[in-house]
Amino acid sequence: MAASGTNRRYEHLVASLGNELFEAIRSAKILMVGAGGIGCELLKNLVLTGFHDIEIIDIDTIDLSNLNRQFLFQRKHIGMPKSQVAKESALRFNPDANILAHHGNIKDSKYGPEFFKKFTLVMNALDNIDARRHVNRLCIATETPLIESATEGYLGQIQVIKRGVMECYECQPKPAPKTYAYCTIRSSPTKPIHCIIWAKEEFLTHFGDQERVVNQEQEEEITDEEVKAEEAKIEAIKEKSFSEYLFRKLFYLEIYKKIRIAQLTKKDLWPGRETPVPIMLDQLHLYSNGTNDSTNSVESLPDQQIMSLKQNADLFIDSVNRLVERRSKTGAMDFDKDDDDALNFVTAASNLRSHIFTIPVQSRFSIKSLAGNIIPAIATTNAVIAGLIVVESFKILRNSIEKCRTVVLQKKPSAGRLLLSCASEKPNPDCYVCSSHFVTLECDTDLMTLGVLVEGILRGRLGMNEPSITVDSDILFESGEDLDEEEVKRMKLQSAKKLSECRIVNGTIIEIDDISQNFQLKISIVHKNNFAEEGQTFNIVGKATPLPTATKTKGEDKLDEKAQDDDEVMIVDAPAVPPPAPSKKRKAQFEEKDAKKSKVVSLD
């Protein structure tokens, strides 16, 4: 490119990078996913390096807490879409760039495989595993190179991903999210995080989408007259003041009921611990403050101070009143750590519950970090990682992807170096995403429902977006925007069934298809009803477990011969249950593929 006129700004780039690489940079079409800490630094680097054709996707809006490290944003931008403001700010560095901003969710169907195919390179600047897995699968499906990145405090890492050349994001197992036994959360919390999780569930129960609320507590069966009298008193004030009703219900009645159950059954529900103390709203002055003023520094910010019991009670009443008013206007809400009313509710509710169970109360700042799963971020770390992303992109654009390195930024020098690099690993042959497409699921098929399989495992643990479940040629479950109202109702009924009622039993192989990710997976089911860890209900293994050999009966030799020719034949010992009919879209897909799959054979 001639370095004259408006292109004079690129003279130094042509001189340092060479004409061939610079032309590749100018012609490359880049997708950048995420416009937060890493994204702001990365977008600035891209436009200053001469990248011309860039698209950005981010679902978030700008919050005050972003301004200390996301330098493309200012106070006047609070509440505005990150992607749009990042675009406008980056254009000041290089008005010649062509940037298209999308304010939306990368998991939306419009950002599917066809959308990804048009890009030369994808750069991830995300802050959650779920979205990373989704982008990884789309890049694997479309064979688009991906540069993955992450930071946490002083630590950072980048990784280049290319199908068939180097390992993908899911080739190595990621730490499973920490889970807690449901009975601990609801009945015997011992840590602040237990109370925070409980408070978030209560927020969704009273102000969220009821159909998305999972594991709502079933009311204990108790016929005690004293409890009934207290219930009647509290129910009487519901119409007059919902906030006062909810306070009395959560922090007095529910605790009082548990104490009465313990007394009537003569069971110690809290062994080795103090019995919880219910809180009465009109007698707050009788309780200990629940805080030590010496823990609050005069210089500390309000959000970092520990509130008294009365302050938490007042905050709870105020937040409930605000949320009730908002719900009447806008409908159901999701918990958002940056929503002041939602965070105030969770802060106050978790601290009040902590007081009841003699657990140290927390500051609003600490609760925001725990409730929002916030990872500490440092601007310098983001800048280093963003720079490394651009360096690795040069190797890809030079068609030298084999020279790409995985680079780790350390907190402390090792052999005098903060940056350590190594050759990228080859794909893991057992990876269920880019290689084997096969995993084993251990679970109790008589207890687990199809809904838990979909929400907790396929979406929650395996990062799928719109999964459909097939056993042989029968579709047991499907999801997606194309389902009509009747189909949605049928799927809801289907979700309540136990796996065994859906013919998913020990030895069954189920096929999962996620059209939005262009991703297919087979899952081998192993029935198991006891696990080593408390609260564990399933286990996922990244490689298929051999199916148990069925006992042959007369006439089965021919069936075995057919099975050797057609590996999609499966023998199950469950009774046949008619599955729901596929949607119109799914029918069309089966016709288009002309799928010839064998029927399930049921042996007596």
Does residue 431 have a known ligand-binding role? yes
Specify the amino acid at residue 461. R
Does residue 37 have a known ligand-binding role? yes
Let me know: does 146 contact 56? Beta carbons within 8 Å.
Answer: no
Q: Which among 463, 373, 469 has a CA at the least distance from the CA of 107? A: 463
Structure tokens at 1: 């490119």
Does residue 412 have a known ligand-binding role? no
What angle in degrees, to the nearest 10, is found between the helix axes of 19-27 and 379-397? 110
Does residue 133 have a known ligand-binding role? no
List Cβ<8 Å contacts ≥24 apart for 339-346.
342/203, 342/207, 343/367, 343/368, 343/371, 344/315, 344/316, 344/318, 344/319, 345/199, 345/203, 345/207, 345/316, 345/319, 345/320, 346/196, 346/199, 346/200, 346/203, 346/371
Kind and range of the H or E run holding 147: strand 146-152
Q: Which among 274, 242, 255 has a CA at the least distance from the CA of 345? A: 242
Let me know: does 40 contact 86? Beta carbons within 8 Å.
Answer: yes
Number of Cβ within 10 Å of residue 578's Cβ equals 6
CA distance 142 to 114: 8
Local structure of 397: helix, strand or coil: helix
Does residue 131 have a known ligand-binding role? yes
Does residue 153 have a known ligand-binding role? no
DSSP assignment, residue 132?
Answer: H
Work out the angle at residue 103's Cα, subtended by the Cα atoms of residues 67 and 197, and round it to the nearest 5 degrees.
Answer: 65
Does residue 268 have a known ligand-binding role? no
Does residue 38 have a known ligand-binding role? yes
Q: Is 420 exposed, middle or buried (0-12, 13-18, 19+ CB in 10 A)?
A: middle
Does residue 484 have a known ligand-binding role? no
User: What is the rounded (10 degree) CA torsion for 9, 14, 19, 22?
Assistant: -70
Let me know: does 43 contact 28? Beta carbons within 8 Å.
Answer: no
Buried b / exposed e over 376-391, threshold 16 CB at 10 Å, is ebbeebbbbbbebbbe
CA distance 119 to 130: 21
Let me know: does 423 contact 405? Beta carbons within 8 Å.
Answer: yes
Does residue 443 have a known ligand-binding role? no
- Provide the annotated active-site residues: 183
CA distance 11 to 422: 33
- Give one DSSP letter per residue of 292-360, joined into a string: -GGGS-TTS-GGGSPPPHHHHHHHHHHHHHHHHHHHHHH------TT-HHHHHHHHHHHHHHHHHTT--
Does residue 82 have a known ligand-binding role? yes
Let me know: does 246 contact 324? Beta carbons within 8 Å.
Answer: no
Half-sphere exposure of 24 (CA within 13 A, CB side): 14
Does residue 36 have a known ligand-binding role? yes
Does residue 338 have a known ligand-binding role? no
CA distance 266 to 262: 5
Does residue 127 have a known ligand-binding role? yes
CA distance 123 to 58: 13
Binding residues for ATP: 34-39, 58, 66-69, 82, 127-132
Binding residues for Zn(2+): 168, 171, 431, 434
Binding residues: 34-39, 58, 66-69, 82, 127-132, 168, 171, 431, 434
